[in-house]
Structure formats: C-alpha cells, structure tokens
Structure 1
Amino acid sequence: MNGTTSLHSIGSLSTRTGVPVRTIRFYSDIGLLPPTHRTPAGYRSYDNAALERLQTICVLRELDVDLATIRRILGGALSVAEVAAAHAAATEVQIRALRLRGSILRYLARRGSSPEEMSLVHQLTRLTSDERRRLVADFIAGLTADTPSARSAAAALRTAVPDLPDDPSDAQLAAWLEIAELMADDGFRARMAHAALPPADEDALPDTAPETAAELVCFAREAVASAREAGTDPEGDEAVAVVDSVVARFAAVLGRPVGPELREWMARQFEDGYDPLVERYWRLVWTVNDWQVVPGHLPFQPWIIKALRRPRPDRG
C-alpha cells in the first residue's frame, strides 16, 4: 500500500460516521462498500473514498432510498437527480395520504363516530377520483322522473360535479362525506328530482301564472341579491325598505292589498318553491370544489321569508 494513503478500520469508520459496525460490515458483505484493503489476518480497512461512499449511502438511506437503487447510483446506472425527482414525487403522495388520514381522524373525533360509521367513512375516502365520479354519475342517472324539473336538476348536477381533491381540507372532506350520505338517500334523490336549484323563475312561485311569476320572482331575486351584497340582515331594520318594495310590487301586479295577509301568502309561496336540503347539497358542492359563494347565486327565498315574517308594527 502507498504509505501516504489514510486507511480506516471498521471501528474508526463507525466512530466517524455514527454507523454501527455490523451495518458497515453488512454493506461490505453485499458489495456496497468493498474494503480498500485487508490485512493478512483478514481485517478490513477503508480509505477516504470509501468513507465518502459510506456517507453517501447513509444520506440516501435516510431519504428512504432502497439498497437496490443505491447500488445503481453508486454503479453509475442512475443519477442522484433522477432518484431525487422520483422520491420527491413519491414523498408528495405520502404527504397527501397522511394529510387525508389526519382529516379523517379529525372528522371522526368531532363526530364521536361509531365503528360502523368509521368503516363507512374509511371506504368513502379510499375511493379513487374515478370511483367518486362514477358515484356521482350514478346518482344523476337515478333522477329518472320524466319531468322538466327532473331534467333540469340532472342538467344542473352535470355542470357542477363535486370533485374532492387529493389533498382536501377538513371542510372539503366533511362536505364530500355529507354529499355521499345525501346521494345514498332515496328520499333526497326524489327531492332533487323535483327541485332543481336554482329553479326557473316561473317555477319558483307556485300557484301563480308563469309569466306573472317570472316577473315577480325576478324582481324579488334582484332585490334580495342587492340586499345581500350590502350585508343587510333580513331581520334587521335596514331590511324593511327592501321587503316593503317587494311587497308593494306583488300587490300592484296581483291586484291585492298590502298587508299581513299578503306578506304571509308570499312567505308560504316562497317556502313551497324552495327546498333547504337541495340548497344544502349545492353549498356542499361549492365547498368541495373550493368555489367562491356569489350572493346572486344563492337562493333568494330564505332571506325574503325571514324578512316577510319579521315582527313589525302594524302599518297595514
């Protein structure tokens, strides 16, 4: 051997790197870290290049690179960049899976779930994106009633399919699970088939001629949208002028006197043309898809019903 070459025993290598002696011996035995020299007694020694090679092995193992891949890197068949890119992608998948697991656990903890519900939640969250889309497609296909509202509901559903991302927030996961629960309910399927959202203006005011209903509902919808954008509370004093203008318009078009009877009739009509559970479904879709809620796209009925029924002085 060249006298200027610095050699390290297995013990010295272990001290310098913190790698156990038996692990260094294992790497040597499988050919990952061949000894630079053996003494006549068979003891292994390693030069500085072997020390650097061991340090490289340690870094790759800490990054969870398997031994077969490390062998290919050290042999020049793979570059570190190629392996790093592949492992970075795999790590991202693992991170998403862990975040999803965390969201599921937090959801179950909040709900105080039973073993049966825990099993169902686990099954639903393990569905692939394609499986979730098929679940929604089957739900839409089940709206088989041959009525304009059923066709309208199916068309609306197809334009806004809930698409849970691979890395959902807690709110998105909870919304998706609630949607899945609704879609499994035959009663909700029937309600969706008969309550497209938003309904056509001529359908949103039952028991009124379609042309008249369309005019009145359009007026009410626009008044409520403006009030919402202004942050007006339907049960606050600022809502009085808004609701009075809507009532006055209804009274003029329908030829009815302004008063408590007309207000209550309007409230009942708007209740009949509105399904809160269907609205709930759409709000959940917005949450899952991370869409911004636009006040003008919200159903106007809940706001106007509250405003119509707000206690007020009897002014006729």
Structure 2
Amino acid sequence: MALFDLPLDQLRAYRSASKEPADFDRFWSDTLAEARRHDLDARFERVDTGLTAVETYDVTFSGFGGHRVKGWFVLPADTDRPLPVLVEFIGYGGGRGLAHTHLLWAAAGFAHFVMDTRGQGSGWAAGHTEDPVGSGPAYPGFLTRGITDPEDFYYRRVFTDAVRAVEAARSHPLADAARTAATGISQGGGITLAVGGLVPDLVALAPDVPFLCDFPRAATVTDENPYREIGNYLATHRDRRERVFDTLSYFDGVHFAARGTAPALFSTALEDEICPPSTVFAAFNAYPVEDKQMEVYDFNGHEGGGPFQQVRQLRWLPQRLA
C-alpha cells in the first residue's frame, strides 16, 4: 500500500501524547516484587532434536503469580564456557514453536533463550504455556483482556513473565549474565522495550517493528488488528474510554523506552499498518540513550526488514556483547 502515516522528517521529530501515570514505577516495582516472592525454579531439560550442531533445553520457570512458563534454551554444541545471552520474545498469537526452528543465534555463538507467551501459541506457532488468570468481558484477541484495570490487564502478566525469563536465562551456568540482550519482532519488540525499562543492566536491545507503543495514536491511526481490538471494545463499551487508556498507559512502550539504559537497534516500516511507524518512532524518540539507531524500510509492511534486519543485527549485536 502507499504511505499512510506521517512523512519521515515528521516521524523523526514525533512525540507521543501518551500520559505517564504518576505511580508507573511503583506499580511495576510492586508487581515484580510480588512475582519474586515465588521461587524462580528454572529447570533446563536437555531434549534430542536430531540436530548435532546445537544443544537444546526445554525450560520451565516461574513467572507472574508463580505460574509455570515454558521456553527454549539453545546453545552451540560442546559449549564449555559461558556465552553472551540473547533473550527473544514472540510475536502476537504465536508461541515458542518447535525447538529445531531456533538456530540462528546459537549459530552466531549466543546462548539463545526463547520465551513462550502465556495463553498464546495457536495463531501461527504452537505454544505450551497456559494463562490461568481470567478477565472480564473482552474483544476476541489478547489486547482487551482485563483492560479496565492495570492490576488485571493481560500484559501485566506477560511483561512480568518476560523479566523472569531474563532471570531464568541468566541462571544457566553457560550463560554470561553480564552480557545479556533482548530482542523480538512486533509483540516481541514491545515486550523487549518493557524488559529494557524494567531490567536496568541489559547490554543491548533490538526491538523490530514493535507493537504496544503509543496506544492513544495507535488506536486511532490504523484499522488493523491487534490495535483495532481497542476500538472494537470501546465501540461496545462507550463509557470506558478513560478507564481503558488509563490502564494502557501503564503498559505503553513509550514509557518503558524512556527508562531504557542499553544501546538499542530499532526498526520500522513505513507501510506498516499493524504497527504504524509513528508509534515506533514515539518509542524511539523517547529512548534516552545516545547509542541508538533506527532502521527504516520504506516500502515494507509489518514484515519489516525480515532477513535484511537479521543481517543488520548479526553485525550490531556482537559488537555490544563482545
């Protein structure tokens, strides 16, 4: 499709109108403190994938509420020293998938941890983690589950799982905890930004076409799901607009980005109607670290840079994790 969002020069200066809650930091500090009352109990079980160049572990750890969350941990075969760690988060609707599909980062010499996303994993890649927490009425999808109260919102659980995933990855004896980075595409990119704002000692972030950013603009500038789930919900619950956007403000990638401390490599695509480029630039422009870069793909949609962005990351990440 043709370009639909702001011109690139305006994107580079765009700032979100999302209002940060006064108790944002306390909310997340309390949330994580509550989660850490449960033993992390990270368990790594070696699995036979039929591959000889990597070693793969089926991981289970305690996330939000002590709920057990799954993951994969993949290493180059015969590793005998701690390696830099890359924690990856998955896009909307997908799960961790099959173990043999995660080879790139182990082949590049990383310890690669892939977090399953609770309650998802039936859209395009299989998941294995349930979400045992219910919610009030929601529009089909995940974005409006518990959307009238930050305490109940679905992504409170997911972001907490993600912080605990970093802790689980670092707990393995072949992980160099001091050299930990995070990455993800779309929803995974949004989770990456949240982790970057909640875990202060990461050494790099690589969010691609991130979702969950600049909710006030995203909900009104695109008709595409998942952001359209918000509008569809409010079309029925006409009296809940203020409550909904108050909840979303606790989960906006713009506010997590403002707390980032690690070098970051972002990407966006100017024809992306699912995660509009203005919402991605909103997070990027709020990111306070001097060592940050934005890759722009002019004629792509939500697929973004795809393998071209992987090439970019394969050159950029090792420099930060050396």
Q: Which has the higher helix share?
A: 1
* More contact order relative to length (CA 8 Å, sep ≥ 6): 2
Q: One fold, TM greater than 0.5? A: no
Query: If you compute each CA radius of gyration, which structure gives the higher value, 1 or 2?
Result: 1
Structure 1-normalised TM-score?
A: 0.21
